[in-house]
């Protein structure tokens, strides 16, 4: 079964200014049922790494959401007083029932979007993507809008593994592709040493657009922006998912599948600005942050900085 855990103030600590100079002073703790209408930021944890375990990865990402919160709370707040940031707690996976966790995530995301908020989901394994995507789709269908959703994945892996023998953290986009036509999927940072030949064949058969890691570098930013903009033109809404194992372990040692061969933060920040400026971004998540293997909270700080960057770039 899946459990819902309420947000706790223990995850939001830091310097006290008395004037909301830091995000831990800005944050408000609510339950999904208390969601106010309006264009506010909604932080939701996906405390589940059952998919990582099934995919033979390093477990520990279930504790990622709280690690990211603790680093985010210490960061400065530059938002306007009227711009609200809510923490809606965690969806937790119990008894290995990842599917129930994904289903609850989907319903919660749909509800948050129905209220007009902007969800930021903190994972958790990359199986978060299946529930997250379906929540977005549910919201758009209930709003009588065509669910033309583009997925942009910053990742070393396609996560297009066949789910014939069960789903895991490596199958979410294959599952989405099989349930949605057309399937719009852009992967940035794909590594040849992290995906077998069959996965490249699957990506080709599904008409996936991808940029290899050796090209996903800041010196090729103009070309990469062109590819992103071309992808954005094909869809009405964009869902961004950032897998922390896509970054080099020099920046993100605390992930479920860390490698020194990943990309750097600067290229991701530039791409996010391009995506945000399109005004099509509907929701974001961060996956595979594993505090068990983190060093000096380096990966949690990077994940928190990505969230900080996003909320300060998106207009209310």
For 274-283, what is each residue's pLDDT tens digit?
999 999 999 9
Q: Determine whether the annotation assigns residue 155 to a binding site.
A: yes
Q: Give the C-alpha separation, 234 to 307, whole Å.
A: 26
CB 213 within 8 A of CB 190: yes
Q: What's the confidence (pLDDT) of residue 241?
A: 98
For 221-238, what is each residue's pLDDT tens digit?
999 999 999 999 999 999
Taking residues 248-269, report their average pLDDT: 97
Q: Give the C-alpha separation, 243 to 137, whole Å.
A: 21
Average pLDDT along the chain: 96
For 61-120, what is each residue's pLDDT tens digit?
999 999 999 999 999 999 999 999 999 999 999 889 999 999 999 999 999 999 999 999
What fold, for 2-313?
3.40.800
At 185, list the tokens: 């999927």
Q: Determine whether the annotation assigns residue 40 to a binding site.
A: no
CB atoms within 10 A of CB 233: 10
Q: Running DSSP on this structure, what letter comes out for residue 212?
A: E
User: How confident is residue 144, by pLDDT bands cut at 50, 70 and 90?
Assistant: confident
Taking residues 291-308, report their average pLDDT: 98
Q: Determine whether the annotation assigns residue 193 to a binding site.
A: no
- Phi-psi bin for 124: left (phi > 0), alpha (psi -120 to 50), beta? left
Q: Determine whether the annotation assigns residue 296 to a binding site.
A: no
How is the chain split into domains, by residue range? 2-313
Q: What's the confidence (pLDDT) of residue 97?
A: 94
Q: What's the confidence (pLDDT) of residue 2?
A: 65
Residues 33-39: contacts with CB under 8 Å, at least 24 apart: 35/86, 35/88, 35/111, 35/112, 35/115, 35/117, 36/84, 36/115, 37/115, 37/116, 38/84, 38/115, 38/116, 38/117, 39/116, 39/117, 39/118, 39/316
At 257, list the tokens: 């599948």
Q: Does position 316 have pLDDT exceeding 60, yes or no? A: no
User: How confident is residue 143, by pLDDT bands cut at 50, 70 and 90?
Assistant: confident
For 153-207, what is each residue's pLDDT tens digit?
999 999 999 999 999 999 999 999 999 999 999 999 999 999 999 999 999 999 9
Q: What's the confidence (pLDDT) of residue 115?
A: 96
For 8-53, what is each residue's pLDDT tens digit?
999 999 999 999 999 999 999 999 999 999 999 999 999 999 999 9
Q: Rounded to an integer, what is the distance from CA 175 to the centroid of its chain?
A: 17
Q: Determine whether the annotation assigns residue 309 to a binding site.
A: no
Q: Name the percent of the chain lying above pLDDT 70.
A: 98
Q: Determine whether the annotation assigns residue 162 to a binding site.
A: no
Q: What is the pTM of this model?
A: 0.97
Taking residues 253-275, report their average pLDDT: 97
- Three-state SS for 46? strand
């Amino acid at each position: 079964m899946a459990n819902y855990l309420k947000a706790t103030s223990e995850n939001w600590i830091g310097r006290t200014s008395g004037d909301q100079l830091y995000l831990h002073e800005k944050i408000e703790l609510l339950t999904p049922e208390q969601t106010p209408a309006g264009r506010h930021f909604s932080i939701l944890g996906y405390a589940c790494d059952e998919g990582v375990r099934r995919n033979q990865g390093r477990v520990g990402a279930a504790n990622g959401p709280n690690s990211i919160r603790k680093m985010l709370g210490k960061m400065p707040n530059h938002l306007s007083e009227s711009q609200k940031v809510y923490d809606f707690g965690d969806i937790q996976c119990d008894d290995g029932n990842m599917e129930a966790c994904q289903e609850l995530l989907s319903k919660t995301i749909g509800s948050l979007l129905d209220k007009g908020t902007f969800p930021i989901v903190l994972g958790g394994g990359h199986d978060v993507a299946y529930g997250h995507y379906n929540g977005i789709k549910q919201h758009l269908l209930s709003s009588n809008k065509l669910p033309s959703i583009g997925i942009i994945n910053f990742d070393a892996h396609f996560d297009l593994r066949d789910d014939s023998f069960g789903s895991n953290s490596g199958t979410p986009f294959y599952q989405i592709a099989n349930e949605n036509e057309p399937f719009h999927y852009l992967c940035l940072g794909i590594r040849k040493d992290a995906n077998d030949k069959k996965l490249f064949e699957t990506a080709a058969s599904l008409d996936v657009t991808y940029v290899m890691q050796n090209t996903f570098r800041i010196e090729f930013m103009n070309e990469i922006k062109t590819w992103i903009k071309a992808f954005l033109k094909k869809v009405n809404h964009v869902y961004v998912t950032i897998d922390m194992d896509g970054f080099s372990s020099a920046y993100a040692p605390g992930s479920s599948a860390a490698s020194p061969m990943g990309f750097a933060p600067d290229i991701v920040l530039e791409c996010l600005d391009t995506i945000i400026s399109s005004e099509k971004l509907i929701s974001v998540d961060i996956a595979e942050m594993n505090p068990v293997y983190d060093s000096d909270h380096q990966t949690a700080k990077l994940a928190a900085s990505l969230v900080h960057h996003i909320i300060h770039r998106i207009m209310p």
